[in-house]
A and B are shown apart, each in its own frame.
Chain A
Amino acid sequence: MSLNRKDLLGIEHLDEKDLQIVLDSVKPFKSLFTRSVKKAPTLIGKTVVTLFYEPSTRTRTSFEIAAKRLSADIVNVAINTSSVVKGENLIDTGKTLEAMKADYIIIRHYLAGAPDILARNLNASVINAGDGFHEHPTQGLLDLYTIYEKKKKIKGLKILLVGDILHSRVAKSNIWALTKMGAEVSVAGPPTLIPAGIENLGVKVYYELDEAVKEADIINILRIQLERQQENLFPSVREYVELYQLTKERLAMAKSGVLIMHPGPMNRGIEISSDVADSSNALINEQVTNGIAVRMAILYLLRPKRKNAGSN
């Protein structure tokens, strides 16, 4: 099985069949986690580099563990200590890593499209670990898998994304993945944080959270960046909490058995109340665990293409 592609830049470019391939591939990797030896030889002799232009603990660690469990050699490039501070441009940085025979480059960048630019200039597989406000495809896939694992299907499910849709690459990747698989996706947030033309992606828009939660099977709460307040996108954290925090009371308006997700890191007491985050409805820790298995699957599924490039 293969995704028949070199890079994973965004879920926009995948189709339903690709997504099903990913979903079907995760389980064997996840089953490793409960064994005493959590390692497979899949990527032995391969070099994986993480190139992170933005701070990240969760995603980078998740990729690192995923690569290690596949027996790859992994190197982390932290950007504040690299030659980027000396003015090296993105393509040259990528070419340098490729000259060191990196097979996979996992890039996180604060600007949209940076992985695309890298991918078309390199032979290595480029995996987007989040680029600006564009996409975070592995997060989208792990969210998709987490839902699939619980519900055994995606088609027909009602999924609500809450918060800062405008600046959320997680929302974008979720929307692509879920709508392509036949789910009904809606978003809720203040109009200032809803991006232009989002309805054209097949998404329903709510401004009132109380209204939006009623029908949802799954509620995915997005992190709110506090600095958005300075851009006048909402007047105060207090008002945001009042209007959009997912609380026990709001949860009571939703279907019983509604599942709660959050890509992390959470602002407890801001976009989500602690009791909801810690409730039995929450899948937040499962998302993290699944993240590793999904990333292993992605490293595996992009690999066959690399064989053609002539290693081993």
Chain B
Amino acid sequence: MRVQIKNIRIIDPSQAKDLIGDIFIEDGKIVSKPLGSPDKIIDGKLKIAVPGLIDVHAHLRVPGNEGKETIYTGTHSAAKGGITTVFCMPNTNPVVDNAPTVEFILLKAQKEGLINVFPIGCATKGSQGVELSEIGVLKKAGIIAVSDDGKPISNAQIMRRTLEYTKMFKLPVISHSEDKELSKNGVMNEGENSTILGLKGIPKQAEEVMVSRDIMLAELTGGHLHIAHVSTAGSVDLIRQAKNKGIKVTAETCPHYFTLTDDIVKIYDANTKMNPPLREQKDIDAIKQGLADGIIDCIATDHAPHTDEEKNVEFDLAPFGIIGFETMLSLVLNELVDKGVLSLSDAIAKMTFNPARIFGLKGRGALKDESIADITIIDPKYFYEFKKENIVSKSKNSPFIGRKFKGGAVMTIVAGAVVWQA
């Protein structure tokens, strides 16, 4: 199959490329020159081609929680959002602490998935934070990183061993940084709003205490620490200091942490409940600065589907998490690029080139000769309202329902094949 995308603005941060031209695809790979006439021509006029977006933090809920999401619905939702590669967190049922579960997810992805799926494995057995999981076996089965995500390793010695042991596999350790004692029973950011609402707060320090501990352990071990979903100004500062010291730490944030404050929790809508919680304007400002300064390397969704039945209850009883695949790109465009925080190329880098580099994904995150032809086509003038009835994810738990966007993905190409089109 030979495809030609004509007259398109090509932005490839991996080679600092921004020009109008054609992209040639030959058997799923990008080639500099076509070997013959194309089987398919895509008109790219007034559109932008970028490397397929890579989401390093998502929950696909398979196996075990197919009521919330399946590989089929999850990858369709991601494709709609312009995402061509997704890393899925291991807090499934059973958890991903064994090779058969990794293989099951990969098999499912092959059978019903629309995009590339890379499982993240548990750092410890059962994500219990007591014994290391068989990380070498998991690596062989296909994991891209290790994490106990929502059940962060509380024992510093175990975290040290995790960072140490993973070095030989060059696997990043993703830390959901949360001191579970400080955040105990908390459901939103601690501050004036939690006081007014009478909801138990989670102080920012619950995150920052663990970010600092893990940075110190990364310094001790030389292991690769990746801080998940940075939500506070303090965490940005800590990561900045660590990077200045040359410690091997990378970080991601999510669109909601640079878009929303805890003011929107005010009507007790559980679609505003996630962990870490929405913070304050000064945190948003610091996160934006951190993105601009390159302190925060990646933008990820933390796509966390939950059913209406689970969410439409008392705020305390609802599970944490919101979906994010279908809104990430538009939020990045509107909140970061349009507001002058990042250039379009730098913004795209945080969803393509940087994740590929940090997690060692070969052949992806770039539009070079021989790159796998994962391409997202953006229409910068695509106006739309994010409506509940248009959500493709099996779950509809988004605080962005009703929001109007300008710009988004209009076509998603995985290995040269168009998998989704607006």
Using CB atoms and an 8 Å cutoff, list the residues of chain A in contact with chain B.
12, 89-91, 109, 111-114, 116-117, 120, 131-135, 169, 172, 195-198, 200-201
Point out the residue from A90, A169, A196, A200 that lies within 8 Å of B314, measured CB to CB. Answer: A90
CB neighbours of B191 from chain A (8 A):
196-197
* CB neighbours of B107 from chain A (8 A): none
Asked if A113 and B195 sit within 8 Å, CB to CB, the answer is: no
B196-226 CB mask vs A (1 if < 8 Å, else 0) is: 1111110100000000000000000000000
**CB-CB under 8 A for A169 and B192, given A111-B317, A113-B268:** no
Is there a chain A Cβ closer than 8 Å to B313's Cβ? yes
B192–A112 CB distance below 8 A? no
Q: Given the complex, which residues of B lie within 8 Å of A133, measured CB to CB?
A: 198-200
A131 and B197 alpha carbons, distance in the complex (Å)? 10
Q: Provide the residues of chain B in CB contact with A131, threshold 8 Å.
A: 198
Within 8 A of A (CB), among B327-346: none
Task: Pick from A91, A116, A196: contact of B312, CB below 8 A.
Answer: A91
Instruction: Check B195 against A112 for contact (C-beta < 8 Å).
Output: no
Residue of B191, B197, B198, B309 most packed against chain A (CB within 10 A): B198
Q: Is the CB of A113 within 8 A of B314?
A: yes
CB distance A112 to B190 under 8 Å?
Answer: no
Q: Report the separation of the CA atoms of residues A133 and B316 in the bound assembly, to the nearest whole angstrom.
A: 12
Residues of A within 8 A of B314 (CB): 90, 109, 111, 113-114, 117
Once A113-B197, A135-B198, A196-B194 are accepted as A-B contacts, the answer to whether A120 and B267 lie under 8 Å apart by CB is: yes
Q: Give B288 Cβ to nearest chain A Cβ, in Å.
A: 23
- Assuming the contacts A114-B314, A120-B267, asked whether A132 and B196 have C-beta atoms less than 8 A apart, the reply is no
Q: How large is the interface on B (under 10, 10 to 19, 20 to 34, 35 or more residues)?
A: 20 to 34
Residue pair B313, A89 in contact (C-beta under 8 Å): yes
Cα separation A131 to B315 with both chains bound (whole Å): 12
The interface residues of chain B lying within 8 Å CB-to-CB of A196 are 190-192, 194-195, 201, 203
Is B199's CB under 8 angstroms from A113's CB?
Answer: yes
Report how far A234 CA is from B145 CA in the complex, Å: 43
20 additional contacts (CB under 8 A) given A89-B313, A169-B198 = A90-B313, A109-B314, A111-B314, A111-B317, A112-B199, A112-B268, A113-B198, A116-B268, A117-B312, A117-B315, A120-B267, A132-B199, A133-B198, A195-B195, A196-B190, A196-B201, A196-B203, A197-B193, A201-B192, A201-B196
CA distance A104 to B180 in the complex (A): 41
Contact B313 A12 (CB under 8 A): no
State the CA gap A49–B198 with chains docked (Å).
25
Interface set, chain B 289-318, CB cutoff 8 A to A: 309, 312-317
Bound together, the chains give a CA A113 to CA B193 distance in angstroms of 13
- Which interface residue of B190, B194, B268 has the most chain A CB atoms within 10 A? B268
CA distance in complex: A73, B198 (Å) = 32
Determine the residue in chain A with the shortest Cβ distance to B309: A89
B192 touches A111 (CB 8 A): no
Q: CA of A39 to CA of B199 in the docked complex: distance in angstroms?
A: 39
A116 to B270, CA, bound (A): 12
User: Could you jot down 27 A-B contacts, CB within 8 Å?
Assistant: A12-B196, A89-B309, A89-B312, A89-B313, A90-B314, A109-B314, A111-B314, A111-B315, A111-B316, A111-B317, A112-B199, A112-B268, A113-B197, A113-B315, A114-B314, A116-B268, A117-B314, A133-B199, A134-B199, A135-B198, A172-B196, A172-B198, A195-B195, A196-B190, A196-B192, A197-B191, A201-B192
